[in-house]
Amino acid sequence: MVKSCELCGAEADLHCAADSAFLCRSCDAKFHASNILFSRHVRRTICPGCKSLTGDSFSGPLSPSPRTTACCCGSSSESSCCSSLDRVSSSELSSTKTSRAVVNKARGREKRVMAAADGVLVKWCDELGLNGDLRNAVVSLASLALAVEKPTKVILAAAFWFGVRNSPKKVMRPSLKKVADVSGVAAGMIRAVESKLARAVTLQLKRWRVDSEEGWGENENVM
């Protein structure tokens, strides 16, 4: 399964466990070279053939040169480094009848993931002492941000920070450092991804507004 870069959306080349983030080489170089502590994060490369994590790891501000081999197992065919889930998914999708079941299963999985994400957001609110209207506002805004991106640990943390930043200013809001501490995601990564989420949310809201106006226009024409 191809993973996307958490920062730019391009195909990811490596994974940083410290940030729980998949990154392309360009974004990895920019992010992990921005701070000496970030540069110490150990990252694992992604096999260009089967798209699974390899055993190769490195640290430092710059990622190593891309692999030239087709697969980390030395073969372009299906290899042992491919996860069993990838193999099952490929075989299921070969049948039209089975693919429908896969789609329905994926939808059910997505609902469970979103429910779990809401649970995590509420848990972080509790740990930071956010309750009442503030907690409701933070979770609602974070859920809005999650509507434009699939939730990962980094996306969850960024969405939570989006909710905190855009919540009512009448009350004391937690700092980015506290959000980073409770989520376990580096503050720099949260800030970078939250900026991307904020732009995506703005665009999505504009689309919804346009769709709504067009719908009202069609109704008026019918009447």
The share of the chain scoring above pLDDT 70, in percent, equals 68
Q: What is the dihedral of CA 135, 136, 141, 147, to 10 degrees?
A: 120
Using one digit for the tens of pLDDT, what is the confidence trace for 160-184?
999 998 887 666 788 999 999 999 9
- The C-alpha atoms of residue 129 and residue 4 are separated, in whole angstroms, by 33
**Mean pLDDT calculated for residue range 111-115:** 71
Between CA 210 and CA 219 the distance in angstroms is 14
5 or 83, which is more confident: 5
Residues shown for the chain: 223
Residue 10: pLDDT over 70: yes
b/e burial code for range 189-212 (CB count within 10 A of at least 16 → b): bbebbbebbbeebeeeeeeeeeee
Indicate the DSSP class of residue 90.
H
pLDDT of residue 81: 46
On whether the CB atoms of residues 32 and 41 are closer than 8 A, the answer is: yes
Tokens 């466990």 locate to: 17
Top pLDDT among 11 and 70 is at 11
How do residues 38-58 score in pLDDT, each as one tens digit?
778 888 899 888 888 888 888
Q: What is the DSSP string of 113-150?
A: HHHHHHHHHHHHHHHTT--HHHHHHHHHHHHHHHTTS-
Q: What is the mean pLDDT of the chain?
A: 76
- Inter-CA distances, 211 with 144, 208, 217, Å: 17, 5, 10
What was the pLDDT predicted at 59? Answer: 81
pLDDT attached to residue 128:
92
- Sheet strands side by side (includes 21-23): 21-23, 14-16, 43-46, 53-58
Most trustworthy range by pLDDT among 59-68, 94-103, 178-187 = 178-187
Confidence of residue 215 (pLDDT cuts 50, 70, 90): low
CB within 8 A of 158, min separation 6: which ones? 145, 185, 189, 190, 193, 194, 196, 197
- In angstroms, the CA 70 to CA 187 distance is 35
SS3 58: strand
